[in-house]
Structure 1
Amino acid sequence: MEMWIIIAFVVVLLIWRMKPTKGVRTISTAQLKNMLNDKDKVFVDVRTSAEYKGRNIPQFKNIPLGSSFDKLPKDKEIVVICQSGMRSSQACKQLKKQGFERVTNVRGGMSAY
């Protein structure tokens, strides 16, 4: 009986961790392609430097996950990408906690681009 309680707790925890952050918009890579030249957006790639050097989108600035986002402007929309969408989702949560109002995650990341 105790084992079922533990399993239920783990399932609830996983669902809670995977739910999208409130206030973070999600876009597809097709939608991203239509906005790459928008000067009112700041594009951030949170992959490692090596991943970024291997393949990147020129409009994106490389700020690896775990780095400081303090130098990003809070008055512009921040569009975040990674390899699959998981790290960018984490970065979006951090940005929202730091007071950024307009934060967008690219679903599927570079794998879908």
Structure 2
Amino acid sequence: MWKPQPVPWVSADEVPDDAYLLDVREDDEWTAGHAPGAHHLPMMEIPARLAEVPTDAEVVVVCRMGGRSSQVVTYLAKQGWDNVRNLDGGMEAWQSAGRPMVSEDGQPARVV
């Protein structure tokens, strides 16, 4: 019987400063608020844009709460990425932990 493997994760407080933060949320979510230095690649575009995700760096995948990013972590692992983790609690946890955020719309950064 097949059993799903647990998805590796990291808490917002433990994300290394040099991690490649891959934000897989939709454009409006990204515009409202994201981590400085994060890389935006909406979840549905991942298969067509795999070459943009580094294989030689620690990749931390983030969405709003952790569901979509968990699916992306599983997908990347199946494609051969071995250093990829899910941001536990997503951008909501990032914001709650007091980690820096920026917006693209001139408004205060927020999670939507």
Q: TM-score, normalization: structure 2?
A: 0.72
Unaligned runs of 5+ in 1: 1-15
TM-score by length of 1: 0.71
Aligned to 2:6: 20
Structure 2: gaps (5+ residues)? 95-112
Q: Give runs of ≥4 in structure 1 deviating > 4 Å.
A: none
Match of 1:79 among 45, 55, 60: 60
Provide the alpha-carbon RMSD of the alignment: 1.8
Deviation at 1:105, TM superposition (A): 0.7
The structure that is helix-richer by fraction is 1
Q: CA deviation at 1:102?
A: 0.4
Identity %: 34
> Cα deviations across residues 65-102 of structure 1 (Å, max 9, x unaligned)?
01132222211111111000000000101111111110
The whole-number CA distance in structure 2 between the counterparts of 1:58 and 1:49 is: 15
Counting matched residue pairs gives 90
